[in-house]
Every structure is written in C-alpha cells, then in structure tokens.
Amino acid sequence: MTELPDAFWQGVEQFNQREFYACHDTLEALWMEAVEPDKKFYQGILQVAVALYHLSNQNWRGAVILLGEGTNRLRGYQPTYAEIDVEQFQADAFHLLTTLQQTGPEAVAMVMQSSVPCLARRAWRRCGPSRR
C-alpha cells in the first residue's frame, strides 16, 4: 500500500460530516483508478457510505445489502489500513447492520440518529470531521 491521496482524506471528512453522497462521488473516482489492495479498501468504505445514503432516504433494503457487502469487503484490512481504524469502523458498521436487521424498516429514522459509524485514524481518540 502506498500513501493514500488527499482525495481519500477528503472522502473521510465527507463521510464523518454525513455527506454520504459526496463521499460516494469522491471515493468512486479513486476506486475506478485504483489497483489492489487499495481498490477493495475504497470499495468497502464506498459501500458503507452508499448504505448510509440509502438509510438517510429511508431505503432499509438498500442499506442492509450494502452494509453487508461493505463490511465483508473490509475484513482483510484489520486492524488498520492506511492509518484508518478499520477494526472499529467495521465493528460499528456491522453493529448498525445487525440493529437494522433486528428492528426492521420501521425503525430506520431512529437507527440513523444513533448508530452511524465514523472513519477514524488509529491515533485519534475519537472521530471527528476535521481530524487529519
């Protein structure tokens, strides 16, 4: 793995600010040009971002499908990759997935308020939008 481009960190900030569609656009551009192992890493985060975008639009089914695919894709990148705490991010995304599966489509708004994961560098004590 090489050092990731500034656009990746822009996507991280967009994700943490809950700008999931913008994050999708940013990471998709990187993903389309990337080679492994970065390509699969970008795709996993991208799928979680799109899942959260679906969730914000009350699309329970789309959110559940993409959370499953995204968390699956990130399995090989634990505990950290490119300074990102993948282990915590994946655990938070998987927790969101199981919560959605248990509560069903009726509880989308409640779940979106309380259970959204964030992308954090391993060295950060907590996640926040402007932490680089």
Whether residue 45 lies inside any domain: the answer is yes
Q: What is the CATH number of the domain that holds 31?
A: 1.10.3450.10
- For the stretch 71-92, pLDDT in tens is 999 999 999 998 899 999 999 9
**Interatomic CA distance for residues 106 and 75, integer angstroms:** 29
SS3 19: coil
- What confidence score (pLDDT) does residue 19 get? 96
Which residues constitute the domain of residue 101? 6-114
How many independent structural domains does the chain possess?
1
Tell me which residue has tokens 């938070």: 92
SS3 80: strand
Residue 111, both tokens: 């779940």
CA-based nearest residue to 46, from 68, 66, 65:
66
- Each residue's pLDDT, cut to its tens digit, for the chain (132 residues) gives 568 999 999 999 999 999 999 999 999 999 999 999 999 999 999 999 999 999 999 999 999 999 999 999 999 999 999 889 999 999 999 999 999 999 999 888 888 777 788 888 765 545 654 443
